[in-house]
Amino acid sequence: AQSVAQPEDQVNVAEGNPLTVKCTYSVSGNPYLFWYVQYPNRGLQFLLKYITGDNLVKGSYGFEAEFNKSQTSFHLKKPSALVSDSALYFCAVRDGGNNRLAFGKGNQVVVIP
Amino acid sequence: EPEVTQTPSHQVTQMGQEVILRCVPISNHLYFYWYRQILGQKVEFLVSFYNNEISEKSEIFDDQFSVERPDGSNFTLKIRSTKLEDSAMYFCASNSPYSGNTIYFGEGSWLTVV
């Protein structure tokens, strides 16, 4: 069964500083990895994904993530955080053989002005 | 940009009542899903639906739950007899092999069971 770990509950960062949200995963087959963002009282908004190819993937709003197979990680990064990036971030994985997504518990990101 | 739409956005129902949550997936998508998120907890998979039948379901999706695609556009989740612990945000989602394997989610339907 696939699973995701997001070890931190909350990530605090000053505006303009680099932002990193950590994610490690476990799957039996090839991982399909995703990051979603959830703003208060809103749905899950797709940010970026890794399916195959270049380990560094770029997504919406200046976010990027690096797939590291040996460390089974897919950390989300942004070089310079904005106050508007404050939200709940979910890492998710699915095994390439099925369509079921397994989500991490989410990380609350707070960007301090 | 096409999106998944869900109705209602919020519903309050009494325990034991039946609830139907409605979704219009993205029009050319073939796979449909329901997920739920209990307040403060992680998003959990409920069921996937393809070619007019359930393709996979989780242990949460018991006999109280059912899904249906009554016409060419709608996808519904029915909870037959709601319990307090069914209170959650329910997300509909869809994808297609041609959408690059990305699963797109709707805004969610808040269900409060009192």
Predicted confidence band of residue A11 (pLDDT cuts 50, 70, 90): very high
Question: Which of A36, A42, A51 shows the shortest C-beta gap to B107?
Answer: A42
Residue B45 burial (C-beta neighbours within 10 Å; 0-12, 13-18, 19+): buried
Partners of A44 on chain B (C-beta within 8 Å) are: 43, 91, 105, 108
Residue of B nearest to A43 (CA): B107
Cα–Cα distance, A46 to A57 (Å, whole number): 13
Task: For residue A2, give the nearest of A109, A105, A102 by alpha carbon.
Answer: A102
pLDDT at A105 over 80: yes
Q: For residues A65 and A50, is the Cβ–Cβ distance under 8 A?
A: yes
**pLDDT for A29:** 85
pLDDT exceeding 70 applies to what percent of chain A?
Answer: 98
**pLDDT for B48:** 95
Task: For residue B59, give the nearest of B44, B49, B70, B76 by alpha carbon.
Answer: B44
Cα–Cα distance, B15 to A73 (Å, whole number): 42
- From the candidates B42, B46, B90, B95, which should be mutated to test the interface with A, based on the most A CB atoms within 10 A? B42
pLDDT digits (tens, 9 = 90+) for B15-74: 999 999 999 999 889 999 999 999 888 899 999 999 999 999 999 999 999 999 988 789
pLDDT digits (tens, 9 = 90+) for B69-102: 988 789 999 999 999 999 999 999 999 877 777 8
**pLDDT for B1:** 66
Inter-chain touch A99–B43, beta carbons under 8 Å: no
Cα B89 vs. chain centroid, distance in angstroms?
A: 9
What mean pLDDT is reported for chain A?
93
Mean pLDDT of A87-107: 89
Centre a 10 Å sphere on the Cβ of residue B70 and count the other Cβ atoms it contains.
9
Cα–Cα distance, A19 to B7 (Å, whole number): 35
**pLDDT for B98:** 78
B101 vs A18, more confident: A18
pLDDT digits (tens, 9 = 90+) for A37-82: 999 878 899 999 999 899 999 998 999 999 999 999 999 999 999 9
What dihedral do alpha carbons A72, A78, A82, A88 form, nearest 10°? -20
Q: Under DSSP, is residue B3 helix (H, G, I), strand (E, B) or coil?
A: coil
Inter-chain touch B105–A46, beta carbons under 8 Å: yes
